[in-house]
Amino acid sequence: MIFTLTFPLISCGGMEEAEAKSLVEEIVKGSVSLNEILYGKGMEYEESADGKYSTIYSRVKDDAPFKTRKELEKEIKEVFTAAYANSLVSHAFTLTPGLFGENSYPRYQEGSDKVLTVMRDYEAREITQYDYSTIKIEKCKKNKIVATILSTENELVEIYLIKEVNGWRLDSATV
């Protein structure tokens, strides 16, 4: 008797494993850039000539990567799934009540001219960085990829990509 052992090849609707890894890397890199804008250093803003400000927000600089809410939302939706993107946009632009009655002001607001303003005193987080050479595809289906990647802090992070109508999108945190 001859037994033939077959091992399933990783297949994502015809996508090779190397292509899946490349896709994970591209999307995670996009999320890290957005995390820096949403949770990290944020976009640079115009400084007051005299050091005094009339509000806690300042207009983003003319060379900022995104000048309007619409531009920033569009980029978020290019990287994250629709549901995840909506929660990120809400966090960035909505006043949220705290546990003890204090409010958490949104990171960004639109000025009267529709140009973004950024909260100057936002407590920036340190944004997680990744070692892209460690990407490992754990599961791969036609519409979903599960991968792991090591952060530069040596933590194993699980990444979920979902294929939506407009392409592959991230459906997990990378902060």
Share of the chain above pLDDT 90, in %: 82
pLDDT value of residue 101? 66
Nearest to 148 by CA among 166, 163, 160, 140: 160
* Residues facing residue 163 across a β-bridge: 168
Q: Does 114 have pLDDT greater than 50?
A: yes
**Predicted TM-score (pTM) of this structure:** 0.88
Summarised one tens digit per residue, pLDDT across range 43-71 is 999 999 898 998 999 999 999 999 999 99
pLDDT value of residue 103? 74
